[in-house]
Amino acid sequence: MEETNLNQTIRCIVKLGGAAITCKNELEKINEENLETVSSHLRQAMNLGSCSTQVVGMDWSKRDAVSDISSSLCDFGDQCQFNVDFSRFVVVHGAGSFGHFQASKSGVHKGGLNQPLVKAGFVATRISVTTLNLEIVRALAREGIPSIGMSPYSCGWSTSERNVASADLSGVAKAIDSGFIPVLHGDAVLDERLGCTILSGDVIIRHLAEHLRPEYVVFLTDVSGVYDRPPTDPNAVLLREIAVDEDGKWSVVKPTPQSLNKQVEITVAAHDTTGGMVTKISEAAMIAKLGIDVYIVKAATSHSLRALRGELRHGIPDDWLGTVIRFSR
Amino acid sequence: MEETNLNQTIRCIVKLGGAAITCKNELEKINEENLETVSSHLRQAMNLGSCSTQVVGMDWSKRDAVSDISSSLCDFGDQCQFNVDFSRFVVVHGAGSFGHFQASKSGVHKGGLNQPLVKAGFVATRISVTTLNLEIVRALAREGIPSIGMSPYSCGWSTSERNVASADLSGVAKAIDSGFIPVLHGDAVLDERLGCTILSGDVIIRHLAEHLRPEYVVFLTDVSGVYDRPPTDPNAVLLREIAVDEDGKWSVVKPTPQSLNKQVEITVAAHDTTGGMVTKISEAAMIAKLGIDVYIVKAATSHSLRALRGELRHGIPDDWLGTVIRFSR
């Protein structure tokens, strides 16, 4: 695989979990409130060095009932001086209530592109996930973030038995070096063995982390982090720190194992075609193994904002709610 | 530039002109009626060998007021046997009333990505053109065409002083070989010299034609073809056949030069940042020089359907309205 050269290291790769930014039980419905807060948090996190608080939107398209956009453009004027120096982030989002339905109905993740239903499902899945991608790019752009949608399928990502077989990251690197924030997503892709499959956002994150080596990775989810059992269970305990060893094996450091009275369980959402928490923890462990801290935290909270800003890199405050996954020799 | 290998030759590259599929004087408004007819024509043209007339849509997303899509999926069933053997087409569309406003307001075509306004305009332009791309992919998918949106920016297209500098066509070739219909579009791209610029659909078409060598190319426009003066002029004469010589120079063959009482003029739309008819004819001439017939014809007419079906390849009927541009030794 081609080596990826960047002018400078990137600061953070952030995953917007499908469950955090969409209404998971309602077909193709965005959680507008969460998405707006997350976009604002991202702007604050990317804008660390700047004292500018003025937001100048970069989505100049029509919105719903608004047909005249000239008014929003007057803000720019000719002397327009808005901040576009954002620190280097990459955003990857999941599908949530976009794509999953189309993928599971047709079995795209199982392959078999020569079957008419699978081929139709492939097309339908891509339409659904790219619709979500466009909405997220627009939400970020409205916050003044120079976001650029980059569909993995179009960018040349493909798999072999669901493992990444090729991914031309030079386009992502070039976008970052040009000052843009690439926005990738879980996608339907071609698979050398299966014909096609679903490439999850978590697998994309791991691959990007491996090749772009960010300072830290943040997973924004719809729960506070990783629990010892399904978080809906009233006795569920939040795992605050997980250590990963050189073999990629992970163990709970905090709370101490003695205080946990049973083995760690993990939740798997019923219609999550890409594996839910199992995938997330093992992908996160693979990233931590590279020496990159991973924070799993609830989206649109003060805790996620702190994680995004990189405040946890020198120590985890006691009042921070979330899961840290890090390498320990 | 990497050589592009295809399993089989492709039949046709078709350009959906921005003016034909959008309402050019109304911001970001699709000409739904034209787009629907064009999509249906494309299905008929791609489905030549098939006697199947049943259309099974591949857009399973929510549409406007329709929130329950399960009904549309019942059509598939388990024994679903819909036709997915489409002949090999590539679709490229222009921007029309999408993108142009954002691009010209910020001067994206002139470059200068380090200027805040240009960077914002780059983001805004891409949002607008990818919105249109998604709508066109959905319209084609509703006709049962296995369409796949492929944004040139994401696919690695870039320019150097507005000429194509790199374009990884292997993704396009792979999509075609997998039985999909790639749908590309005019886009904002990075330019080695200028920082950024606008890559027009016409330039994309020429590059694709050169490397993929289709049997013929069709430009669907909002007028009947190329005229000797602005088509709004009541004395405008439709040029029915243009011959291109080995040097790429073109001359009108039909009607005979004697019958044209003045030199050929060409129209340039005032806010077409990519050059309008001038670009179109010279790009078309470059394609014809390769020995590939080019038909310029009004979208959503019986004439365009005949062109798309390849009926003109063995001779132009007298009752066909449009312009043929072909190589003549």
φ and ψ at residue A155, rounded to 5 degrees: -80, 5
Query: Taking a contact as any Cβ pair under 8 Å apart, which residues of chain B between 60 and 89 contact chain A?
Result: 60-62, 67, 69, 73, 76, 80-84
| Mean pLDDT value across chain B | 87
Q: Rounded to the nearest 10 degrees, what angle do helices A201-212 and A170-177 cross at?
A: 70
CATH number, domain A12-48+84-327: 3.40.1160.10
Q: Chain A partners of B105 at a C-beta cutoff of 8 Å? A: 60, 73
- Which residues 19-58 of chain A have a CB within 8 Å of chain B? 27-28, 56, 58
Taking phi first (over 0 means left), then psi (-120 to 50 degrees means alpha), and beta for anything else, what does residue A203 get? alpha
Q: Which residue positions of A form the known binding site for ATP?
A: 96, 201, 222, 276, 280
Percent over 90 (pLDDT), chain B: 69
3-state secondary structure A256-268: CHHHCCCCCCCCC
List CB contacts (< 8 A) between B138 and chain A: 127
Q: Residue range A232-247: average pLDDT?
A: 90
Please report the pLDDT score of residue B262 as a whole number: 52
The whole-angstrom separation of Cα A173 and Cα B322 is 45
pLDDT given at position A76: 52
pLDDT number for residue A212:
95
> How far is Cα B175 from Cα B155, in angstroms, rounded to an integer?
12
Domain boundaries, chain B: 12-48+84-327
Instruction: Report pLDDT digits (tens) over A181-228.
Output: 999 999 999 999 999 999 999 999 999 999 999 999 999 999 999 888
Is the pLDDT at A69 greater than 60? The verdict is no
Query: Which residue from A31, A316, A204, A123 is spatially nearest to B56, judged by alpha carbons?
Result: A123
Q: Which secondary-structure segment (H or E) carries B36?
A: helix B32-46
- The mean pLDDT of A279-296, rounded to a whole number, is 90
- Mean pLDDT comparison of A247-251, B65-69, B296-300, highest-scoring range: B296-300
pLDDT band at B230 (very low <50, low <70, confident <90, very high): confident
Closest CB from B67, B113, B134 relative to A131: B134
Interface list for B 83-142 with A (CB within 8 A): 83-84, 101-102, 105, 113, 116-117, 119-124, 126-128, 130-131, 134, 137-138, 141
Name the pLDDT band for B155 (thresholds 50, 70, 90): very high
- Residue A265, pLDDT > 70, answer no
E strands along chain B, which residues?
12-16, 89-93, 147-149, 158-160, 163-166, 181-185, 187-191, 195-199, 216-221, 226-227, 238-239, 241-244, 250-254, 293-298, 323-327
Nearest residue in B to A112, CA atom:
B178
- d(CA A208, CA A157) in angstroms, rounded, equals 12
Greater model confidence, B175 or A50: B175
Summarize the confidence of residues A99-124 as an average pLDDT.
Answer: 94
The whole-number pLDDT of residue B281 equals 79
Average pLDDT over residues B195-203: 95
Of the candidates A27, A81, A196, which has its C-beta nearest B62's C-beta? A27
Give the number of other CB atoms < 10 A from CB of residue B214.
22
**Of the listed ranges A88-97, B35-44, B240-249, B263-272, the one predicted with least confidence:** B263-272
Least Cα separation, residue B125 to chain A (angstroms): 8
Give the list of residues 6+ apart from residue A313 with CB closer than 8 angstroms, or none. A215, A216, A293
pLDDT in the model for residue A197: 97
CB atoms within 10 A of CB A324: 25
Chain B contact for A153 (CB, 8 A cutoff): yes
DSSP string, A184-196: EE-EEEEETTTEE
**B171/A156 Cβ within 8 A:** yes
- Arithmetic mean of pLDDT, A164-190: 95
Please list the residues that pair with B149 across neighbouring strands.
Answer: B183
Rounded to the nearest integer, the mean pLDDT of chain A is 87
Interchain contact, A123 vs B83, CB within 8 Å? no
C-alpha B25/C-alpha B270 separation (Å) is: 12
Which residues, 6 or more positions from A318, have their beta carbon under 8 angstroms from its beta carbon? none
Range picked from A38-52, A61-75, A227-241, B109-123 for highest mean pLDDT: B109-123
Least confident of A128-142, A206-220, B102-116, B234-248: B234-248
Each residue of A125-163: pLDDT tens digit? 999 999 999 999 999 999 999 999 999 999 999 999 999
Consecutive H or E run containing A15: strand A12-16
pLDDT at B57 over 70: yes
Q: What is the CA radius of gyration of chain B?
A: 20
Quick check: B130 and A126 CB within 8 A? no
d(CA B177, CA B297): 28
